[in-house]
Amino acid sequence: MARGVCIYCKQEKKKITRDHVPPQGLLGKPLPKDTITVPSCRGCNQNFSNDDQYFRDCLMSMRIVENHPVVKKQRKKTMRGFRRKESLGYAKEFISRVELKEVHSPGGVYLGQFPVFTTDDNRILDTITRIAKGLYYEEGKGLIPDGFITTARFIRQEVLNDENIKIVLNELASINPRIVGDDVLAYSMVSTPENRTAFMIRFYGKLLFFAVIGPESDLLLGS
């Protein structure tokens, strides 16, 4: 480990490690040859550990990605981890967020009650903002400038209803994404004249997120 600057806290440290983008637990083993890593201090890396695990477990609990080959393999590893004595508290907390909810078809037909996992969306989006910072650095833009902030959103209908965001998303969708591993991560990036950088980030070919890095006064960041 050599001296360097952590891209997250922006502090120069005597020893710099490497942070995986996305978190290593999503990638499976062996790690893909095209794995992205960025300089990070040991303190930031350790602080990310619990959120990385939660992010992985939440994504892999979603039915929309259950047939992805990496998810199938990693789910087995996750279940074995839940059974470890030191993980029982985390496992109980995680499972406690599963509850029965009424489910309807797209046409409105009542299908019955099914177990539904309720995620901590803010915690998930915190990890997406960190991933966006890593991709920003990877794309040669360096550290996030002072006075800039990073925001992230799930790509849901309420986001698509925002015309300003919709314009940026359409541009991102027209760009061939960079793919990491077996489509574990795919992202496209666009920089705008307003000095903002936007990302469309996809996991396991299905789960979509939108992230923006730009001046704190940028209206798009606060919409």
Structural domain contains residue 89: no
Structural domain contains residue 153: yes
What's the mean per-residue pLDDT of the chain?
86
Amino acid at 206: K
Residue 41 vs residue 87, higher pLDDT: 41
Nearest to 187 by CA among 209, 167, 158, 160: 209
Q: State the average pLDDT over residues 37-43.
A: 95
CA distance 149 to 33: 31
Q: Does residue 165 register a pLDDT over 70?
A: yes
Structural domain contains residue 21: no
Q: Does residue 222 register a pLDDT over 90?
A: no
Structural domain contains residue 158: yes
Structural domain contains residue 101: no
Mapped onto helix, strand or coil, the DSSP state of residue 164 is helix
Domain region containing 159: 145-222
Q: Is the separation of the CB atoms in 220 and 201 below 8 Å? A: no
Mapped onto helix, strand or coil, the DSSP state of residue 161 is coil
Percent of the chain with pLDDT over 90: 53
Total domains in the fold of the chain = 1
Which of 34-38, 73-77, 113-117: highest mean pLDDT?
Answer: 34-38
Q: Is the separation of the CB atoms in 78 and 91 below 8 Å? A: no
Residue 117 pLDDT level (bands cut at 50, 70, 90): low
CA distance 119 to 157: 18
User: What are the pLDDT digits (tens) for 167-182?
Assistant: 889 999 999 999 999 9
Structural domain contains residue 154: yes
Structural domain contains residue 109: no
Structural domain contains residue 41: no
* Range in 36-40, 84-88, 199-203 the model is least confident about: 84-88
Report the DSSP pairing between strands 207-215 and 197-203.
antiparallel
Q: Is the separation of the CB atoms in 5 and 137 below 8 Å? A: no
From the number of C-beta atoms within 10 Å of its C-beta (0-12, 13-18, 19+), residue 150 rates as buried
**Triad 147, 150, 154: Cα angle to 5°:** 160
